[in-house]
Amino acid sequence: MAQKNNANLGFEKQIWDAACVLWGHIPAAEYRKVIVGLIFLRYISSAFEKRYQELVAEGDGFEDDRDAYTMENIFFVPENARWSKIASAAHTPEIGTVIDDAMRAIEKENTTLKNVLPKNYASPDLDKRVLGDVVDLFTNMDMGDTEESKDLLGRTYEYCIQQFAAYEGVKGGEFYTPASIVKTIVAILKPFKNCRVYDPCCGSGGMFVQSAKFIQAHSGKRGEIAVYGQESNADTWKMAKMNMAIRGIDADFGPYQADTFFNDLHKTLKADFIMANPPFNLSNWGQEKLKEDVRWKYGTPPAGNANYAWIQHMIHHLAP
């Protein structure tokens, strides 16, 4: 087993380096969506295909039954959205449209992904020859073992998010907290099984990934954590939804992105653990319109700094 793990060391960087061929061929703001979208699409298609072959082998005719997939926590991928269709069109002028159509078809079949997946691949700003090369890269990934692939793609996803944060500097902190900090928080709080975990400013969902890993390391199951989160940035909210889907974590991030102070999507939630890395020293957070809010049990937070507001919000949502 150790030898197999060693073979995978550096795999994330190989994916990142190869995907970097897109730099200069697409606006930087769109680049992140392109890469994380392809990682997501590649994984769910692979998981679907494995389950499809199992159902065919069983011979009961359920291979086109949505429930046969969703009951196994696998997204149903319609025929025109499967990776084989995308791979076969990799070096055609229509590759961008093929991927966008695949994303729309997957959202239509899986309501939890509605308005989540990127659909910018047909953009004239994206060089279709280069996009085809990146599709080839993902096509050639070894996806023989779906469970191992889940971890591999999850690691790749996290690695790419980390790199995007590094490239975007201070702004990157809006959607990524360094793994070392997340691991420390999780190790201190020790969110064990049968608990509710909440992050009111969840970014791309790193806190929840580490929580699931923590429980797995202690012989528990990922499904034994109930995960809740909220994120105000639309693109980051989508990244978090995809991150959870790749990891097989069932998370409630609300039906859309929303400002935690002005539109608390989990008003009645009482969580066992709250793990967060809020935007510190946030000014102009809206105190003037929230002075009588029920969350300010210990006094109205100052207008020029949201730190005390974050603390009271978290206390409000902690279980007794």
The maximal CA–CA distance of the chain, rounded, in angstroms, is 65
State the pTM of this model.
0.80
* Residue 4: how many other CB atoms lie within 10 Å: 9
Range 163-180 average pLDDT: 62
Rounded CA separation 106/110 (Å): 6
Domains and CATH numbers, the chain: 2-171 (1.20.1260.30), 175-316 (3.40.50.150)
Q: Which helix (H) or strand (E) holds 47?
A: helix 28-58
Q: Which of 240, 34, 243, 30 is nearest to 135 (CA)?
A: 34
As a whole number, the mean pLDDT across the chain is: 84
Task: Write out 151-165 in H/E/C secondary structure.
Answer: HHHHHHHHHHHHHHH
Query: Is pLDDT above 60 for 310?
Result: yes
Q: Given pLDDT bands bounded at 50, 70 and 90, which one contains residue 217?
A: confident
pLDDT given for residue 40 in this prediction: 87
Strands 273-274 and 225-229: unpaired
Q: Which helix (H) or strand (E) holds 214?
A: helix 206-217
Q: Given pLDDT bands bounded at 50, 70 and 90, which one contains residue 248?
A: confident
Coil vs helix vs strand at 83: helix
* Residue 13: how many other CB atoms lie within 10 Å: 13
Of 181 and 53, the structure prediction assigns the larger pLDDT to: 53
